[in-house]
Structure 1
Amino acid sequence: MRILKNLTQDKLAIISLLVIIVTIVVGIFASIFAPHDPEEVNMSLRYANPSWEYLLGNDHLGRCILSRLVYGIRPSVLWVLAALSISILIGAVMGFMAGYFRGKIDAFIMRICDIMLSFPGYVMTLAIIGILGVGLENILIAFILMKWAWFARVIRTSVMQYTELEYVKFSIASGNSAMHIIFKHIIPVTFSDIAVISSSSISSMILQISGFSFLGLGIQAPNPEWGMMLNEAREVMFSRPELMLAPGLAIIIVVSAFNFLSDGLQVALNPILMTSKNKLQENEVAK
């Protein structure tokens, strides 16, 4: 409740959260919100201007841009969220094991993480795509393989910090099982750290998957995706620049919303930052 109360004081974070919720809901129920079939080709409407029937106009194949934008939420945002969730789950399991049990378990897991993190993210992702082939599924697999190690290292640091707290040491001395201590004492306090790093990571993943689709390595036609829509509009970017506007703005708005929400969560979860922010606001009001 305290975190929610602190977050509600940040109007930009609340607006960002509402934008994210609306985007997810529209993506899940895309068949309801999309006015037309996103793959329906109608060459008579090729490059048609916006109208009441086609609010954002039509692309080079006469397809409804708004419908493709709505359906593009699924690969651009929803599937990225799914890949992020799997990465966090794997990273959390490994991070909790390494941070709590330490010793040989910690050394073994961290050496694996060192190996995974020693390669540049983009290079490793391109290598995986080269082995498995192009496509959205293979990019998501590459994301999971690359991201879990980073989450494991960050979560391990938090777990090692919280296991030094007095009440956790008392619970260990009382003879409680490791699983009981982790689920009752450590997970609740590390949840805030996981929430912050997750909200900040989703932005980079959305940009990466849009970038790979723009290069033709992601989802393939005729399936709609924001990065691929930018790639399709690239050929007429000087004669029809408005075709790049819709998917470009969609990426900017969603990525910005996740970034602003991440900043808001970081402030809401950190009492020191919250106090500093309140003092700044009081000084501005005083002026």
Structure 2
Amino acid sequence: MNMLKQILKDRLAGVSLFIVAITIAAGAFAPWLAPHDPNHIHMELRYAGPSWDFPLGNDHLGRDVLSRLIFGIRPSVLYVFAALLASVCMGAIVGFIAGYFRGRTDAVLMRVVDAMLSFPGYVLTLALIGMLGVGLENILIAFVLSKWAWFARIIRTSVMQIAETDYIKYSKTIGVGHLSIMARHIVPVSLPDIAVIASSAFGSMVLQISGFSFLGLGIQAPHAEWGMMLNEARTVMFSKPELMLAPGLTIILVVSAINFLSDALQGALDPKLMSSKAKFQARTAVSAARLQGKEVA
């Protein structure tokens, strides 16, 4: 609750949290919120403009753009979030084991991680999609397989710092089990770091799945997805630009909200960062006042 209050103190973070919450809720309840079937074809309404029944108009097959936009939340945001959780869990398991036990265990696991990280993220994801085939399920599997190593590397560093503290050493000395130490002492302390890195990766993954779907490698027709909606509308981008604006602006809005919320979460979990930000804002205010010729105490 304290962290939520800290985030809500920032107006931009509060608006971002509202946008993300509304987006997730809309995706979860899409069958009840969408005014029409997103895959129902009305050829007589092909490229029709906005109306009371279809507020955002109709696409090249007469399908309701608003309904497809709402249903597109599921693959673009909700399913990506599930893949993110799976990546974080895999990375956390490897990171905790390597950072806590160190020695030969750490050396072996980190060589595997180094081998995974030696490939650029986009290239590895494309290679996995090429081997697994196109489709939403395969692109989500590719996300998990290509991103767990990055989480493992960062989480390992955090766990190594915590494992060197005196209370962890004391717990080992008095015979507390390794699993008990990790569950009671290391996991709760490292959760803020995990939350920050996960939230920072969330926005980029939403962009990636939209990009891959735009290229035809993600979700396939007739299912709705924001990147695929952009691809379908690009042939009429000059005569019917509103068909590209709807999914394009939605992607920008949601990804920006996720990134702003990630920054606020990092600030709420890192008091040093918050104090530095406050000092910077204070110095900025003083400089602005001096430029305006005002006296500053």
Q: Fold conserved (TM > 0.5)?
A: yes
Partner residue in 1 for 2:244: 244
Tell me which residue corresponds to 1:130.
130
- Quote the residue 1:168 is aligned against: 168
Alignment correspondent of 2:292: none
Could you tell me which residue of structure 2 aligns to residue 16 of structure 1? 16
- How many residues are treated as equivalent by the alignment? 287
State the Cα deviation string for residues 18-42 of structure 1 (Å, max 9, x = none): 1111111110110011000000000
Q: Secondary structure at the match of 2:109?
A: helix
Q: By how many angstroms is 1:113 displaced?
A: 0.5
Q: TM-score, normalising length from structure 1?
A: 0.97
**Partners of 1:177 and 1:47 in 2: how far apart?**
65
Unmatched runs of 5 consecutive residues or more in structure 1: none
C-alpha distance in structure 2 between counterparts of 1:235 and 1:55, whole Å:
21
How much does 1:278 deviate?
Answer: 2.5
Aligned-residue RMSD, C-alpha: 1.2
How is 1:99-118 mapped onto 2 (pairs within 5 angstroms)? 99-118=99-118
1:177 corresponds to? 177
* Runs of 4+ off more than 6 Å: none
Structure 2 partner of 1:28: 28
Q: Shift in Å at residue 2 of structure 1?
A: 3.8
Question: What is the aligned partner in structure 2 of residue 52 from structure 1?
Answer: 52
Q: Secondary structure at the match of 2:181?
A: helix
Q: What is the distance in 1 between the residues matched to 2:75 and 2:91?
A: 23
Deviation at 1:130, TM superposition (A): 1.4
Unaligned runs of 5+ in 2: 290-297
**CA-to-aligned-CA distance 1:106-154 (integer Å, 9 cap, x gap):** 1111011111111111111111111111111111111000100110000
Cα distance in structure 1, aligned partners of 2:151 and 2:261: 19
Shift of 1:102: 0.8
| Distance of 2:258 and 2:94 partners within structure 1 | 26
Deviation at 1:281, TM superposition (A): 4.1
Determine the C-alpha separation between the residues in 2 that align with 1:114 and 1:268: 31
Q: 1:54 to 1:277 in 2, by over 3 A?
A: same
For residues 224-243 of structure 1, what are the structure 2 equivalents within 5 Å?
224-243=224-243
Shift of 1:283: 5.0
Secondary structure of the residue that 2:175 maps to in structure 1? coil
Which residue pairs with 2:194 in the alignment? Answer: 194
| SS at 1:134 equivalent | coil
Question: Offset at 1:165?
Answer: 1.6
TM-score by length of 2: 0.94
Question: What SS does structure 1 have at the residue aligned with 2:54?
Answer: coil
Distance of 2:284 and 2:209 partners within structure 1: 40
Alpha-carbon distance in structure 2 between the residues aligned to 1:127 and 1:285? 50
Amino acid at match of 1:66: L
Aligned equivalents of 1:4 and 1:206: distance in 2? Answer: 24
Cross-structure match for 1:274: 274
User: Percent of counterpart pairs with the same letter?
Assistant: 64
Q: Deviations over 1:230-285 (max 9, x none)?
A: 00000000111111001001100110011001110111111111112223444566
How far apart, CA to CA, are the structure 1 residues paired with 2:197 and 2:125?
Answer: 20
Q: Identify the residue that residue 66 of structure 1 maps to in structure 2.
A: 66
Amino acid at match of 2:42: N
Q: Distance in 1 between matches of 2:186 and 2:2?
A: 19
- 1:6 equivalenced with 2:6 (yes/no): yes
Inter-partner Cα distance in structure 1 for 2:29 and 2:81 = 16
Q: Which residue of 1 aligns with 2:157?
A: 157
Alignment of 1:203-222 (within 5 A): 203-222=203-222
